[in-house]
A and B are shown apart, each in its own frame.
Chain A
């Protein structure tokens, strides 16, 4: 079964991999979470790690962002080994965790200035104002984050991750818990990142999110990558296309977005 599902070798290895993971294993006491994970991510692409809850997606991200140590296997990010060269890896990456890692008591602008200072950049105020503009948070910038909506928090969270232009960004379930409008805002931000040459590894449990954003998709299941390929390659794993005529009913999402869409579009532009 697995052999039949494998992807042609031409696309299996990625040249010039920015993230390169081989045989990654990790256990928590009795539980074997990762049982040999292999991933290669090319520069400037969006790579989606897909899996159900508890599949080990967050564990992979934590190992790659030097927060956890793997039991076995190697992982290199931007050419640096995550264990031996953790400091260099931290210079190259930015992590947006599952829960918006923002300081609620500070204002949005102060959050950005804080991160810019901790990245030892000059002109933290200018950087903050620039990002507030890019993420349509200028007006909210002087308000405490505690007053922000979920989508605004996530946008601020991602804006904080962009400070210092790290070449690699990890987004762990960036849209979990967001309403549809906020999801689209986040998707837009992620797409713009990759267009600017940033490599993005994102985890998600939403299939449509991977479909929308990712150049390559890997499915993590029971601690292993069971498939890895482009969307088209993954689609070819299933029997050829059947043509059926179906009455096209608008989905609830279509209805929702059409009704509220006019407003959203105005705000975004």
Chain B
């Protein structure tokens, strides 16, 4: 690895974070949709949903956090696409810098931006009555899962960011990711779903992630869900990283 990797990544990360600081709308729009879903489901549909939990916002929050990440990562594709279009990407590539730091800076920016959005969403949930007795270790475990999940989805986002032909194409890929939580245990217990849907819901990554976070917040034993959740996150992360790196190499050679 290039000796300048850490330094170059830090400089480029500083650049992207400045972008975010100057257009905080990217964080606001990331947080608005999940907050709207949360309001809608808690105050409109929630009364009719039987979850077996004492408060619906408590049941709902983990799924909302997943949606927050899924909508937030599309900005990585967006920013990467703009860099490629604008010519600054070529400037970086023709300079004596560690080449992978260009991608890593975007990935770390996504992590920072998503963590801010998540804090905003959790803040709104607290106002809406979300309470947890989870201690420091519980919160750390939740944060760990969310960080891994953000990194996994961000590396997926890098691929359309590098290959898209239009700006819309670069960010449209995230729509299916946003709707994946709807066919999971995020909004309603999977037991209420008909056979094939239930089978899908119980074996897709969002359900295990949502269940693990829910158990951590409720201070329940997490069981196997957390290992399945970690397995999904690490698996997606590794696969997306490899594909993104290959795409990047092809793009710059």
Contacts and interface: CB of A to CB of B under 8 A. Distances in A.
Decide whether A and B assemble into one complex: yes
Nearest to A120: B4
Contacts of A118: 8, 11-12, 92, 95, 97
Contacts of A100: 87
B199 interface: no
Nearest to A96: B91
Contacts of B92: 118
B96 interface: yes
A93 B91 contact: no
The A contact surface, by secondary structure, is loop
Interface of B: 4, 7-8, 11-12, 15, 18-19, 22-23, 86-88, 90-97, 252-253
A120 B93 contact: no
B7 A90 contact: no
10 contacts: A65-B94, A66-B93, A97-B87, A97-B90, A110-B18, A115-B91, A115-B95, A118-B8, A119-B96, A144-B22
Nearest to B90: A97
Contact of B11 (A67, A98, A101, A117): A117
A117 B94 CA distance: 15
A67 B22 contact: no
B252 A67 contact: yes
Interface of A: 65-67, 69, 87, 90-91, 93-95, 97-106, 110, 114-115, 117-120, 144, 160
Contact of B18 (A102, A105, A160): A105
Contacts of B7: 120
Nearest to B92: A118
A2 B18 CA distance: 56
Nearest to A114: B15
Contacts of B23: 105
A99 B91 CA distance: 11
Best-surrounded residue of B22, B87, B95, B253 (most CB of chain A within 10 A): B95
Contacts of B90: 67, 95, 97, 101
Contacts of B22: 105, 144
Nearest to B93: A67
B105 to A, nearest CB: 11
Contacts of A160: 91
Given A67-B252, A97-B87, A119-B96, A105 B8 contact: no
